[in-house]
Amino acid sequence: MFFRGHLIVKLLPLFFILFGFSSYASADLNCDDLIGAWSSERHDTTLSSDRRTIKALNPDGSYWIKFIHDNGTEVTEQEEQGTWTCNGKVLGIEINKINEKIVSFYNTFNLLQLNTSFHSIKPIAPNCSNVLGDCSADIVLEYYRVLN
């Protein structure tokens, strides 16, 4: 009896630590922190190029994003416009225009981290039909706030 009670006392702090992390991970993030201008840089393996992304998420729910790919000899750009929504765990992007051409696509992203200066997202079943470059549910995208 003493051994079982002693084991429970030793495991109790571990239980609280695990419970605390799981409740933190499932907590909603503050979607208002997404409002503003953001930038990202990464290597795009599909196009063998460096990719810079600049985006603006506006308080009215509209967004604008530009992808700039540079493979050392050619620079390619793609611009998107549309609307965004956020529920504290998932960022939804409805794409209405790609390079001024009217389209209708919807993508969702898990919000992994979000604060006033950084956020990271991971696509949920991405629609890759009009994506220039890497597109996969395994990619984690990291953005840093553009300061004025």
With contact defined as beta carbons under 8 Å apart, do 144 and 40 qualify?
Answer: yes
The reported pLDDT for the residue numbered 78 is: 92
The reported pLDDT for the residue numbered 15 is: 40
The reported pLDDT for the residue numbered 18 is: 40
Tell me the fold of 31-145.
Lipocalin (2.40.128)
The reported pLDDT for the residue numbered 85 is: 97
SS3 content of the chain, % helix, strand, coil (to 5): 20, 50, 30
Residue 90's SS3 state is strand
Can you tell me the distance from the alpha carbon of 137 to that of 145, in angstroms, rounded to the nearest whole number?
Answer: 23
The reported pLDDT for the residue numbered 139 is: 87
The reported pLDDT for the residue numbered 148 is: 60
Q: Name the helix (H) or strand (E) containing 23.
A: helix 2-25
The amino acid occupying position 120 is S
- CA atoms 138, 39, 63, 77: torsion sign: negative
Q: Name the helix (H) or strand (E) containing 13.
A: helix 2-25
- Residues of the chain scoring pLDDT < 50: 2-3, 6-9, 11-25
The reported pLDDT for the residue numbered 24 is: 41
Where exactly are the structural domains of the chain? 31-145
